């Protein structure tokens, strides 16, 4: 935003004229209402246009008596925030309000302050003002009456009307939205319901609680094969930019990722990196505390766009696996054969009923049923340590579109971690590590731990030596276990022969 002092001065005097004209027209209007006909009102307006060539547009904080802060107001406020902090904007008195969930302060124009702006060589003047709240005793008044109602008013010349209405105001809204996105704090939600006030000022039960999401992990610090990392980042990019594509092929704008692998291979870390990369919120669903399928649907509807919806350890969350279902079916069939169910089985079933009743079909519908299409730009991530346990229907492409295996630490990932943790790109122990990693399985979490200096005397040499020692120990253990297994097999074969 450019601001010009001359424009400011000229518009400023214009505003004074404008205010006088507004007063004049109010007087005229009242007179017209009392004594004259329509003809005189038109004359009054013509007279006002000669005295005051300026038009104004007012953006109110609460439009049409609604209790929700208007989007346009928030966008204009964000746009003017930049100008307010800019000395050229001419603002001398700023208003500071606490930013949600952080120590930072949001600065905005104080009451009756003005900001000059230039758009395509045309001068504009913004003014902030407030009014006391209405004095009625309705619900709105009870909730909001303490606060003044705030407005921004834009003054411009009549000849610039088309430019202002057609281009400048949409531009201000767009830029304001961009500022809001930049300043936005990302949130990590969990499905823990709380009581509180909604955006409209109504008391309600909120299905999600949140904290500010501040995980430091990014793709830059995530150790994995560079080609695989690039593939995932490209996939995320394509998704983010895919609005038109999804609309064209008639698919809801969402994508499912299945992250699977042993504990400590970076599944949760990957989710954090994805959220940081895309700048999305995270909704972490604890499935065991969702009571029914319809509750699951409700919490889904409450999620917002630009978010990652996560169900961690899906295999442990609930009885969703094909195998377990089959086992249960077989059990039921046996019971039916016996004539009646055993008391123990009945008890087990009752216990299950007391907890969550979310079923596999409930989760399938949640991922790609009709409701899943409401909103857009959502990523759904499941993580599991046992991909083979999951029902194929749950993870088929279309539901979980991309399957990503998070594996044990390879040499490439190790080199990456050594660079991050120790700042070394090469070392004489690297060869040992490379050959050992080809033989033993160690998670990136464990490698990270060995590469973390524990005291002042620790350095790259000591950390790498410790890691090599551990890898050698694991290798010896593995060889011992293999030897033991070989002996057992031999013994079993001997027994069979004897028999
Ligand atoms: N690929 C990786 N790159 C960098 N750090 C990693 C990686 N994998 C794991 N870590 C580190 O290991 C720790 C554990 O990782 P994480 O919690 O992501 O594992 P997980 O696969 O989610 O395990 P679980 O299956 O037990 O939930 C984290 O602190 C993370 O910093
Ligand atoms: Mg995890």
| Domain span at 303 | 194-318+356-405
241 within a domain of the structure (yes/no): yes
| pLDDT tens digits, one per residue of 249-271 | 988 899 999 999 999 999 999 99
Same domain, 425 and 300: no
Using pLDDT thresholds of 50, 70 and 90, give the confidence band for residue 418.
Answer: very high
Distance 218 CA to ligand 1 centre (A): 12
Same domain, 123 and 43: yes
Same domain, 395 and 252: yes
Same domain, 122 and 25: yes
The sign of the torsion formed by the CA atoms of 310, 315, 317, 318 equals positive
Same domain, 202 and 63: no
Residue finishing a domain among 371, 405, 439: 405
* Residue nearest ligand 1's atom 29 by CA: 445
pLDDT of the residue at 26: 54
| Tokens read off for 417 | 């971690």
Same domain, 146 and 218: no
CA nearest 180: which of 308, 279, 91?
Answer: 279
486 within a domain of the structure (yes/no): yes
For residues 337 and 432, the model is more confident at: 432
d(CA 300, CA 285): 9
Which of 448, 449, 450, 451 most suits a substitution to test ligand 1, by most atoms within 8 Å of the C-beta? Answer: 448
Which of 218, 265, 286 most suits a substitution to test ligand 1, by most atoms within 8 Å of the C-beta? Answer: 265
Same domain, 262 and 376: yes
| Tokens read off for 235 | 């996939």
339 within a domain of the structure (yes/no): no
Residue finishing a domain among 157, 183, 209: 183
Same domain, 314 and 427: no
Using pLDDT thresholds of 50, 70 and 90, give the confidence band for residue 348.
Answer: very low
The Cα-based distances of 277 to 136, 165, 222, 370 in angstroms read: 48, 36, 12, 28
20 within a domain of the structure (yes/no): yes
| pLDDT tens digits, one per residue of 283-327 | 999 988 888 888 888 888 888 888 999 999 988 876 654 443 444
- Closest ligand (CA of 262): 1
260 within a domain of the structure (yes/no): yes
d(CA 452, CA 497): 53
CATH for 378: 3.40.50.300
Distance 452 CA to ligand 1 centre (A): 14
Q: Report the domain count for the chain.
A: 3
Same domain, 231 and 296: yes
Q: Is the pLDDT of residue 375 over 90?
A: no
Same domain, 42 and 135: yes
3-state secondary structure of 151: strand
Ligand 1 atom showing the smallest separation from residue 261 Cα: 21
Residue finishing a domain among 132, 164, 183: 183
Same domain, 24 and 145: yes
Backbone torsions φ then ψ of 44, nearest 5 degrees: -60, -40
442 within a domain of the structure (yes/no): yes
Q: Which residues are near ligand 2, the ion (C-beta closer than 5 Å)?
A: 267-268
Q: Are 261 and 213 in contact (CB under 8 A)?
A: no
Ligand 1 atom showing the smallest separation from residue 223 Cα: 3
**Is this prediction's pTM over 0.90?**
no
* Residue nearest ligand 1's atom 26 by CA: 263
- Closest ligand (CA of 315): 1
* Residue nearest ligand 1's atom 13 by CA: 445
**Pocket-forming residues, ligand 1, beta carbon under 6 Å:** 222-224, 263-269, 385, 406, 444-445, 448
Distance 270 CA to ligand 1 centre (A): 8
pLDDT of the residue at 344: 45
- For the question of an ipTM over 0.90, the answer is yes
Q: Are 118 and 124 in contact (CB under 8 A)?
A: yes
Q: Is the pLDDT of residue 338 over 50?
A: no
329 within a domain of the structure (yes/no): no
The Cα-based distances of 254 to 240, 247, 348, 400, 436 in angstroms read: 10, 11, 37, 10, 41
Same domain, 93 and 68: yes
Beta strand 187-190 pairing with 194-197: unpaired
pLDDT of the residue at 31: 45
Q: Is the pLDDT of residue 179 over 50?
A: yes
Which of 263, 268, 269 most suits a substitution to test ligand 1, by most atoms within 8 Å of the C-beta? Answer: 269
H/E element, 109: strand 105-109
pLDDT, the chain, mean: 79
Residue ranges of E strands in 64-103:
94-98
Q: Is the pLDDT of residue 85 over 70?
A: no
272 within a domain of the structure (yes/no): yes
Residue 199 DSSP code: T
């Amino acid at each position: 935003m450019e601001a010009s002092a001359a424009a400011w001065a000229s518009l400023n005097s214009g505003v004074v004229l404008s205010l006088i004209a507004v007063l004049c027209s109010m007087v005229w209007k009242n007179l017209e209402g009392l004594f004259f006909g329509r003809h005189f009102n038109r004359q009054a307006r013509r007279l006002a246009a000669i005295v005051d060539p300026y038009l104004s547009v007012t953006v109110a904080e609460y439009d049409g008596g609604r209790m929700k802060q208007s989007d346009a107001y928030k966008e204009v406020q964000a746009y003017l925030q930049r100008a307010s902090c800019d000395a050229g904007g001419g603002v001398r008195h700023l208003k500071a309000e606490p930013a949600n969930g952080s120590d930072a302060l949001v600065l905005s124009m104080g009451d009756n302050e003005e900001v000059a702006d230039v758009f395509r060589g045309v001068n504009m003047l913004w003014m902030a003002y407030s009014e006391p709240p209405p004095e009625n005793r309705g619900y709105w008044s009870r909730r909001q009456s303490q606060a003044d109602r705030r407005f921004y008013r834009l003054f411009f010349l009549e000849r610039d009307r088309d430019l202002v209405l057609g281009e400048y105001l949409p531009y201000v809204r767009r830029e304001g939205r961009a500022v809001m996105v930049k300043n936005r704090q990302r949130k990590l939600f969990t499905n823990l319901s709380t009581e509180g006030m909604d955006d409209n000022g109504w008391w309600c039960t909120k299905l999600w609680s949140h904290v500010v999401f501040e995980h430091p992990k990014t793709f830059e610090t995530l150790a994995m094969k560079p080609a695989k990392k690039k593939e995932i980042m490209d996939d995320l990019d394509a998704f983010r930019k895919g609005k038109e594509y999804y609309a064209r092929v008639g698919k809801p704008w969402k994508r499912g990722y299945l992250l699977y692998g042993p504990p400590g291979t970076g599944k949760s870390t990957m989710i954090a990196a994805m959220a940081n990369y895309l700048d999305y919120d995270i909704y972490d669903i604890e499935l065991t505390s969702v009571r029914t399928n319809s509750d699951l649907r409700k919490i889904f509807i409450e999620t917002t766009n630009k978010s990652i919806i996560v169900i961690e350890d899906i295999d442990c969350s609930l009885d969703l696996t094909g195998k377990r279902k089959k086992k249960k079916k077989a059990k039921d069939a046996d019971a039916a054969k016996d004539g009646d169910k055993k008391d123990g089985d009945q008890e087990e079933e009752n216990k299950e009923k007391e907890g969550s009743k979310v079923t596999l079909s409930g989760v399938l519908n949640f991922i790609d049923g009709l409701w899943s299409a409401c909103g857009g730009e959502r990523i759904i991530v499941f993580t599991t340590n046992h991909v083979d346990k999951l029902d194929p229907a749950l993870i088929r492409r279309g539901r979980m579109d991309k399957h990503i295996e998070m594996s044990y630490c390879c040499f490439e990932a190790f080199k990456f971690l050594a660079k991050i943790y120790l700042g070394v790109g090469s070392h004489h122990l690297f060869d040992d590590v490379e050959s050992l990693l080809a033989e033993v399985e160690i998670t990136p979490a464990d490698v990270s731990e060995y590469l973390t200096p524990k005291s002042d005397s620790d350095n790259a040499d000591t950390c790498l030596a410790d890691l090599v020692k551990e890898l050698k120990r694991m290798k010896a253990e593995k060889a011992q276990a293999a030897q033991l297994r070989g002996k057992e097999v031999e013994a079993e074969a001997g027994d069979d022969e004897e028999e």
